[in-house]
Amino acid sequence: MSGLIAPHGGKLVNCLVDEVRAGALRKQAAGMARIDLTAKQSCDLELIANGGYSPLTGFMNRADFESVCKGMKLTTGEVWSIPVLLAVAKGTAPAVGSHVALYAPNGVLQGVMTVKEEFAHDKALECKSVFRTDDPAHPGAAQVLAEGDVCISGPVEVLTLCVDPTGDEAFLDRRLTPAQTRAGFQAKGWQTVVAFQTRNPIHRAHEYVIKCAQEITDGLLIHPLVGETKKGDIRADVRMKAIDALVAKYFNPATTMVTVLPAAMRYAGPREAVHHAVMRKNYGCSHFIVGRDHAGVGNYYGTYDAQKIFDEIDGAALGIEPLKFEHTGYSKSYGGMVSGKTFPKIEGDIINLSGTAVRDLLFKGERPPVEFSRPEVADVLIAAAKDGKLFV
């Protein structure tokens, strides 16, 4: 047996300290400069700590930032598509060589960083490279433009991974680290695992491509993103309830695992598709599903740009295998799920609903057609809409 895919860079990073060290850091933090992290920065820190961002051991320096923006690689050569920065307001950056206490948005001490470098936050370079736009209407670009003008970098020591409020939204029992998912895959005897990324409820077209991918791998990781998303997206707790309802009835538990990814959405389309793939490689997945308009928003990216970007990358250096699927849906002529590859395109044949149409049905308490959404999923969404808890 060859075993699971190796982590990105060859070694799974772990920046989480033990309780003895955590206690010492808590005492020392009172005398350190303080940075209150944004939700995105807190998510990034958790993924640095748990190995989801391997081989990163801290926030990026200038050289890595520029290398990632210009060439989608770290200076050490690994494929990397999204800058992971700690931006702060100008004039507030702690001195190089000092230690800084990093507090999560809820006030919990999340980690400590040794400051190795300070550099100007080149927002123009980041926006144009990562999002292909500096339009403030783009949620990812708007977020970068609103961040601090100075970045600080350095290795981190992390005291706690999850700093979310307790309750349904923390997903404490579903928040597995890369080391834990890898152990779970090995316990099940899986060597090849396909990951499915989602920030939306799973509808029938998603289900179709997932099951196609399951046929060529040992196991499936349904890995919904539960970090920061934009206003108007469906709440993470609602999505998880819908996924659980779907998996309980329509998936084989012997070949399926569900856990959550504590990452913040960037809405960076093609670049973010690569970012999502690298993270899933670290979680132990050998294959990654890339659908139409992956991680897209508005009209900033072409329908299949997120698939085409993988053709520009050295596949051996990336390591994880992208599985590219065309637009799929229920064909009335065929009587089942099809894509453009499997059935001729016929005008008006595919049952296709816009997001607006689906929302209108849900708010009226009506299920979308069963060819579009499983009734179990629709019922979860209808209940959340009725309670006014469907959207972020």
Catalytic residues: 199-200
Helical axes 375-386 vs 236-250, angle rounded to 10°: 160
* Cα dihedral 264, 362, 371, 292 sign: negative
Judge contact between 307 and 289, C-beta under 8 A.
no
DSSP string of 294-331, one letter each residue? TT--TTSS-TTHHHHGGGGS-HHHH-SEEEE---EEEE
Pairing, β 287-290 against β 193-198: parallel
Closest CA to 188 of 158, 221, 216: 221
**Residue 123: its H or E element:** helix 123-126
CA distance 319 to 203: 29
CA distance 56 to 9: 9
